[in-house]
Amino acid sequence: MIEFHLDPRSGVATYLQIVQQVKEALRLGTISVGDQLPTVREVVADLAINPNTVAKAYRDLERAGLVVARQGRGTFVASTLAPATLLPHYEALRIELEHWLDAAVGAGLDEESIRALISATLRETLARWVA
Amino acid sequence: MTSPIDSRGLGKRFHRDWALRDCTLTIPEGAIVGLAGANAAGKSALLSLAAGLLAPSEGSIEVLGRDPLREPSVLAEVGYVAQGAPLYRSFTVAETTEFARRTNPCWDEELAADVLKLIAPRTKVGSLSAGERARLALALALGKRPKLMLLDEPFAGLDPLAGREFLQLLMDGVAETAATVVIASHVIADIERVCDHIVLLTGGGVRLEGNVEELLESHRILMGPRRPLGSIRGVRSIVRERHSGRQLTLLVHGYGPILDPSWTVERVGLEELLLAYMAPERMPVPVPPERLPLRWHG
């Protein structure tokens, strides 16, 4: 089951952080159709946040058609964001990326430089593919 | 729909001093309200008035649509955790919850037990740790399955771990009972995590009130080179003004985008926003004494 974490310093509203984490998990296929999200009470007891915030996040996800709430039973994933093309390659790509990251850390790059390098390269590469 | 707390021109005076004055408030149902303000700003007075422990000196207050003094039956639906969680020290935990069970018609044993968890029932209240005593007080309030919870400085005296645990148990109880909650705290960091509505008291009056998201959305920090301040497009009012060298930093209440590119615009955090509103309004500029011409008579 997905476990939420909060970054109070991010400046991103708490309910949005929850929405983003669910979407990310859907995109990476770590949760898929039929899986249950933690109940509002579970999230609240875990993170010590306002239950209205969790409910609002789940309502947003429901409105986007990503989850459905079943009365008295909980909230379940209703659709996926993972592109069908990703899943077969997912594990292989993840391992390649891990190797690359090992090399980057080994070369002495810190987290910020790694992020900067990745996002710059990603931009350039995507631009090339679109063109 | 009646509001959980509705006050009109509410005031409370102790001898000559007003603890609370001209307080008009409507708390939305289901909100988790942070009642912020410095010490002696009137937070405890407001909660005591809502809990029916004090009578107003002027104005009126309605709790869940009823006057807590004239219709004290409404208090069965109000969970009140007083500052320092005062309880009978010579009672055991079990005796304390037994007392609550017998005096509350809707007592929820299971919910209270969830909060008490592993506290041994035979322990005397006087020998509980601060965190355990706070949990017992919370269990007594939540066990009533209240529609409204009032908590007065619940984190005072708790270490960070006990404070977080208290908040988790409180939020779990709120998820279960759907109660409206008012938490008074002078430490904003303690309540920032949970509250979606803010009431800020200064000097016994309401200084700022509203939905947290809306308040953060309507305020911005502007930074730029020092300049004479006329009106700035997009700014309704300047809450705080700070100069350092040639730099000017403003906290503003806005109505639209700040388009002037000479300002760097940033969002503001809840703590900083409230601290700015808590500061005394504009320091009065000292006026030099009028120079009186000396006259010699005779």
Domains and CATH numbers, chain A: 8-77 (1.10.10.10), 86-130 (no CATH)
- A90 versus B27: which is more confidently predicted? B27
At residue A7 the predicted structure's pLDDT band, cuts being 50, 70 and 90, is: confident
At residue B285 the predicted structure's pLDDT band, cuts being 50, 70 and 90, is: very low
B37, pLDDT greater than 50 = yes
Is B257 part of the contact surface with chain A (CB cutoff 8 Å)? Answer: no
**Residue B18 buriedness (CB in 10 A; 0-12 / 13-18 / 19+):** middle
Is B103 part of the contact surface with chain A (CB cutoff 8 Å)? Answer: no
The angle subtended at Cα B234 by Cα B230 and Cα B236, nearest 5°, is 70
Q: Do A52 and B196 touch (CB under 8 A)?
A: yes
Report d(CA B43, CA B35) in Å as an integer.
7
Nearest chain B residue (CA) to A47: B168
Q: What's the pLDDT at B298?
A: 42
Q: Which residues pair with B205 in a beta bridge?
A: B202
Sign of torsion over alpha carbons A16, A18, A20, A23:
negative
Which of A70-79, A83-92, B109-118, B194-203 has maximum average pLDDT? Answer: B194-203
What's the pLDDT tens digit per position in B70-125?
999 999 999 999 988 888 889 999 999 999 999 888 899 999 999 998 888 999 99
What's the pLDDT tens digit per position in A116-125?
999 999 888 8
Q: What's the pLDDT at B259?
A: 85
CA-based nearest distance B114→chain A, Å: 11
Q: What's the pLDDT at B284?
A: 47
What proportion of chain B, given as a percentage, has pLDDT over 70?
93
- B259 versus B221: which is more confidently predicted? B221
